[in-house]
Amino acid sequence: MLIAIPDLLNPAEVRDLRARLEASPWVDGKVTAGEQSAKAKFNLQVPETSPVARELADRILRALGTNPEFISAAQPLRVYPPLFNRYDTGMKFDAHVDNAIRGVTGHNLRIRTDVSATLFLTPPEDYDGGELIIEDTFGTQPVKLPAGHMVLYPSTSLHKVAPVTRGSRWASFFWVQSMVRDDGERRLLWELDTAIRRLRGELSDDHPSVRSLTATYHNLLRRWAEL
């Protein structure tokens, strides 16, 4: 399931993040790559232990915690603290699959990567190339979203970042361990929740159809959730 989530951050929030990142040190992106993906990865990252990275990651986590579309689509149990990368002209990340398990730096905690996320921080007109290209059962999808918008996709997907041919592409990226491990089950829950929210707008929360569908949603979540 590939889902675009608009306006996780507003333009002012994006500008502030960019200003903080511009003043931060950057290192080779291979520092967070596995053995195989390190051979394919050519970008820069803000060190995840830097105070700026942690502060900005907390801002994004707060935005995620109040975004109903993210919660509905990802069913988050744990979220890896967001990281920050940039692709300058000539940089790319060849096709790879994300590591299945990631340890959280500085914590005795590991998460299973069920959902991958990219939050775009550069307007698409400011750079050429740099598309996030995702291959899965839904086909091959190039993704290049406005700044402040985010895309979610299964971490099992083969994906890459096309070479940047002009400008610089900045983004935040992270992973989610979902309460619902199976992508097909997550999609059904998201579709059902989307329909329920639409019906609530057209009818009311106490309409019999809304109550019935809401009960079905929670009973499915109860059946499929792993805590």
pLDDT, tens only, 21-67: 999 999 998 777 666 666 788 999 999 989 999 999 999 999 999 99
As a whole-number percent, the residues of the chain with pLDDT over 90 amount to 87
Q: What angle do CA 44, 4, 66 make, to 5 degrees?
A: 90
pLDDT in the model for residue 35: 64
Sequence-distant (≥ 6) Cβ neighbours of residue 157 within 8 angstroms: 97, 116, 134, 135, 136
Both 172 and 187 in one domain: the answer is no
Sign of the CA dihedral with 6 first, then 11, 16, and 22 last: positive
Buried b (16+ CB within 10 A) or exposed e, 26-46: beebeebbeeebeeebbbbbb
User: What are residue 154's DSSP bridge partners?
Assistant: 115
User: Are both 103 and 194 inside the same structural domain?
Assistant: no
Residue 193 and residue 82 share a domain? no
Query: CA Rg, the chain, in Å?
Result: 18
Q: How far apart are CA 219 and CA 148, in angstroms?
A: 34
Question: Total domain count for the chain?
Answer: 2
pLDDT at res. 39: 74
Q: Kindly state whether residues 157 and 199 are assigned to the same domain.
A: no
171 and 194 co-located in one domain: no
Q: What is the pLDDT of residues 70-104, one digit of tens each?
A: 999 999 999 999 999 999 999 999 999 999 999 99
Q: Are residues 202 and 103 in the same domain?
A: no
- pLDDT (tens digit per residue) in 154-178: 999 999 999 999 999 999 999 999 9
- The pLDDT of residue 161 is 97
Confidence (pLDDT) at 46: 96
**pLDDT value at residue 69:** 97
104 within 8 A of 111, measured Cβ to Cβ: yes
Tokens 């002009």 found at? 166
pLDDT of res. 33: 64
Q: 11-22 vs 51-65: helix axis angle to the nearest 10?
A: 160
- Going by the annotation, the residues of the binding site for Fe cation are 96, 98, 159
Same domain assignment for residues 161 and 189: no
pLDDT at 30: 79
Q: Which residues are part of a known binding site for 2-oxoglutarate?
A: 169
Binding site as annotated, residues? 96, 98, 159, 169
Whether the pLDDT of residue 126 is over 80: the answer is: yes
Measure the CA–CA gap between 68 and 54, rounded to whole angstroms.
23
* Average pLDDT taken over every residue of the chain: 94
Look up the domain containing 199 and give its range: 183-224
